[in-house]
């Protein structure tokens, strides 16, 4: 029986631990050749170690799979280009990019430092852009040369980005940007045979252990195992996901869902005097659905 990702070359950033590691192991088990990218830093991005990436490569090779480690910092232009080049040079091509690398520098807005903002935006948003950009250029060149692609970009957003969470203006802004990036990139790249989607995972990892999940019950912890996210990502990486593009999915051990993006709500004819706005806008606010809570559900009035 043919495996879902047989022969597909996959880059997975931030795959030395947590959700990314689960992606790497499952896709390798389904026949993918995996570039395991991880700088091996701490949760806030400090430090560097090639150990985690090499450990995952060893696990994959122990399963009989094919993988190579990469320690480039994908938040830099050079690092993003290097990981794409390594995939092409080592495995002879590239089919899938999974942008999963991330850090946390949580802080309430009034206390957030410029460096805490910049570091999070750089890893999440610029890192997603950089690797995607170099991969897209490769696929476009193939298309211009008459070759066909069945390629995928799978990005990582978050409930913090699509629904909001206090204390994470930097992280949430980056993740909201990634959701929009995915929708727009899907529009641009479909002509080249590239499908682009995003996953908003909820899982218990070192990134979330002190955000209320670390003290959860054993049953809840089992539901929050990062392995629950991997089947969706593996499916998106495979040819089975043909035709699915520009969507944001939510995944955990509790649910598998499609997130619905912004839609225009109640509306009225425009007014040209500021004194008239209050009488028009307040009924529209009252008729509109409230913003959702962190779990994607309507907040109670």
Question: CA–CA separation, 192 vs 150, rounded Å?
Answer: 9
Which residues lie across from 9 on neighbouring strands? 33
CA distances for 169 relative to 121, 161, 163, 262, angstroms? 10, 9, 12, 19
d(Cα 243, Cα 150) in Å, to the nearest integer?
10
- Inter-helix orientation angle 127-144/169-189, to 10°: 10
Closest CA to 30 of 67, 71, 70: 67
User: In the annotation, is 192 catalytic?
Assistant: no
Instruction: Report which of 77, 59, 78 is spatially closest to residue 69, judged by C-alpha positions.
Output: 59
Provide the CA 156 distance to its chain's centre, in angstroms: 1
Per-residue DSSP letters for 36-100?
Answer: EE-----TTS----SHHHHHHHHHHHHTT-EEEEE---TTSHHHHHHHHHHHHHHHS---EEEE-
Q: Which of 23, 138, 163, 171 is catalytic?
A: 171
Residue 37 to residue 20: CA distance in whole angstroms: 9
In this structure, the dihedral spanned by the alpha carbons of residues 241, 74, 172 and 202, taken in order and rounded to 10 degrees, is: 50
The set of catalytic residues is 171
């Amino acid at each position: 029986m043919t495996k879902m990702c047989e022969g597909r070359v996959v880059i997975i950033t931030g795959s030395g631990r947590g959700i990314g590691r689960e992606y790497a192991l499952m896709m390798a088990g389904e026949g993918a050749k995996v570039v395991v990218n991880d700088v091996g830093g701490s949760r806030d991005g400090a430090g560097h170690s090639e150990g985690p990436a090499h450990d995952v490569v060893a696990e994959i090779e122990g399963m009989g799979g094919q993988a190579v480690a990469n320690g480039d910092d994908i938040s830099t232009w050079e690092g993003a280009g290097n990981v794409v080049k390594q995939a092409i040079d080592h495995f002879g091509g590239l089919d899938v990019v999974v942008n999963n690398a991330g850090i946390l520098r949580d802080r309430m807005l009034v206390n957030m430092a410029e460096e805490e903002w910049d570091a999070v935006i750089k890893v999440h948003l610029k890192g997603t852009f950089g690797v995607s950009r170099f991969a897209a250029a490769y696929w476009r060149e193939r298309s211009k040369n008459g070759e066909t692609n069945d390629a995928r970009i799978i990005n990582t957003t978050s409930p913090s980005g699509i629904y909001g969470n206090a204390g994470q203006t930097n992280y949430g802004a980056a993740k909201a940007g990634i959701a929009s990036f995915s929708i727009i990139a899907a529009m641009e790249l479909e002509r080249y045979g590239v499908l682009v989607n995003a996953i908003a995972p909820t899982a218990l990892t070192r990134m979330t252990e002190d955000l209320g999940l670390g003290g959860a019950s054993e049953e809840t912890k089992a539901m929050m195992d990062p392995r629950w996210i991997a089947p969706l990502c593996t499916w998106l990486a495979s040819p089975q996901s043909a035709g699915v593009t520009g969507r944001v999915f939510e995944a955990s051990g509790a649910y598998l869902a499609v997130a619905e993006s912004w839609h225009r709500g109640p509306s009225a004819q425009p007014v040209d005097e500021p004194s008239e706005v209050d009488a028009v806008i307040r009924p529209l606010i009252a008729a509109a659905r409230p913003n959702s809570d962190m779990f994607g559900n309507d907040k109670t009035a």
